[in-house]
Chains A and B, each alone.
Chain A
């Protein structure tokens, strides 16, 4: 079946899911709720008693594990970058039976960053954001906490599979897929039960996160139903829809919420949020890997040759180009929300804010780059595939990772009850991570361009300039490793002995606290748009007098 038909089935499936989530499933709603709850807790037997069911424990566990996964992800990516100019650097590991190559390390680093770090940070954030926006609590904290360990196990298996696809004749990647989906389905059911118990209308960021999670398995089912999974086009489409679309929706919901909560400003535009959500579903996201082979590896099926028809090329290019609309809408909405009334970001020292700012700022140029590379690949020109690897990594390390980490950091005090240990360390970690990723990968991309130019000119000599730039790129990327370690240390130490969230809150001049201290002029709309802004909010102006001062009487 053609690309547009497969996409149409996906759209209808998402629409049906959305209606079912909102309307319920007729008389079976109550039965399905109680049965799902039983399956999530009691049916699991003794293992469920090993985990904590305290409020916020699930989100904290997912966020901490996600932050910890940043370290192996950045270290492995760094090693992959290093091996691209010095392939024999890790030959001593051969005595342990390991023969790492640059490409396999970069792929596994990307997968760990996507599933381990970004996936866990975003799912963890959603476990706080969705119940918060729905005015309820997470259906089962225990199951969600337990599933974080299953997810971590799946990432470990994924890393092994990326470097050693078969062990004793058994394909490893499908095992990782099985484990990931097991955890994901449990999380989705948990989210649906949470949404079902909502006491108020869930705003769009909450729906983005729910639909983002659901879209991952739905895309596989939709493509399987249309019989596209065996074709190269179907596998390419699955790579696009399963990963980037799902993660983009999750990321959008998280940073829209995080930008508002962290800055203390209301979400700038609801219509742009709606455009982001619908646009993400109805278009093909240009971020992420370009080849469909990875989808076949995950499903354990044979990779098919990518031979899109003329209609597929036209439809695919059109949907890819349209994807810039939701991305620009998201970027504009987040940046405007963070800036509020003036041109400066509110609460710039608040952990998570610089990360969200960076992600929102970089999403547009990286997406435009991805659009060029993807359309080049789709049309079979393949002139830009040389920079594909660097661009994908840049999308991961300057858009997805900062966005997910920023959202997680901004809600961390609420979920764990404590602030991160040091705001100063958090700022250092941001600069190390962002500077290392951007400069390191920019130099690597320059080297890619140099190699492409020599390849085009059919020069067979070794490109020494390119190699030197690659050395610089990999060394600069080490900043990301250091930043990851700093962030992880800050989060872990903070969860034990960080300032208590109630003591450490530093609301901005426009944020609601109780009672609300009016230090500058504001509007009633802005006050009411705050989360706790109600008509009975106490508005107390700062005490001041025009009378002359006098010595304090003792």
Chain B
């Protein structure tokens, strides 16, 4: 939405035959404009979460250089051997599909 009077919102003049009298559009954008759009909170939270995770990992690596990550290091051995066969790439593809369906269900059900 544009604030105040703007030269962009300008009427165009036509002659009696219907032909446009002025076609000089380059002169229309002549000043700085501000919109009112903002990023959605969900995207802000996602980016903040990603940055916080990276900060935590880097700081942990600097402060405790030889220590394993809490919780994650004990969970990772469960996935030992995963991706040692080609089948896992196909299963990953199917999982992306399943998550796409879950995502679609959630977004479709909650969208206005």
Contacts and interface: CB of A to CB of B under 8 A. Distances in A.
Interface stretch (A83-91, A112-120, A189-197, A227-235): A83-91
B108 A493 contact: yes
From B81, B90, B109, B111, residue with most partner A Cβ within 10 Å? B90
Given A485-B100, A493-B104, A75 B84 contact: no
A321 interface: no
Contact of A86 (B85, B91, B105, B109): B85
Nearest to A496: B108
Contacts of B94: 71, 75, 78, 481, 485
Contacts of A489: 97, 100-101, 104
Interface in B90-108: 90-91, 93-94, 97-98, 100-101, 104-105, 108
Given A478-B90, A481-B97, A489-B101, A88 B85 contact: yes
Contacts of A91: 81
Interface in B62-108: 77-82, 84-87, 90-91, 93-94, 97-98, 100-101, 104-105, 108
Nearest to A71: B98
B85 A492 contact: no
Interface string A57-71: 000000000001001
B75 to A, nearest CB: 11
Contacts, number: 63
B101 A96 contact: no
Interface residues of B, number: 23
Interface string B19-53: 00000000000000000000000000000000000
A493 B109 CA distance: 10
Contact of B101 (A71, A78, A89, A496): A71
B109 to A, nearest CB: 7
Contacts of B86: 86, 89
A492 B104 contact: yes
B96 to A, nearest CB: 9
B87 A86 contact: yes
A75 B101 CA distance: 15
A496 B109 contact: yes
A468 interface: no
A143 interface: no
Contact of B78 (A71, A95, A493): A95
A69 to B, nearest CB: 12
Interface string A384-424: 00000000000000000000000000000000000000000
A464 interface: no
Given A88-B85, A95-B78, A482-B97, A78 B104 contact: no
A82 interface: yes
Interface of B: 77-82, 84-87, 90-91, 93-94, 97-98, 100-101, 104-105, 108-109, 111
7 contacts: A71-B97, A88-B85, A92-B79, A485-B100, A488-B101, A492-B101, A497-B108
Nearest first, the 7 A-B pairs at minimum CB distance are A92-B81, A485-B97, A89-B85, A496-B108, A89-B87, A75-B94, A82-B87
Given A481-B97, A492-B101, 13 more contacts: A71-B98, A71-B101, A75-B91, A82-B87, A83-B87, A89-B86, A91-B81, A92-B82, A95-B78, A95-B80, A481-B90, A482-B97, A489-B97
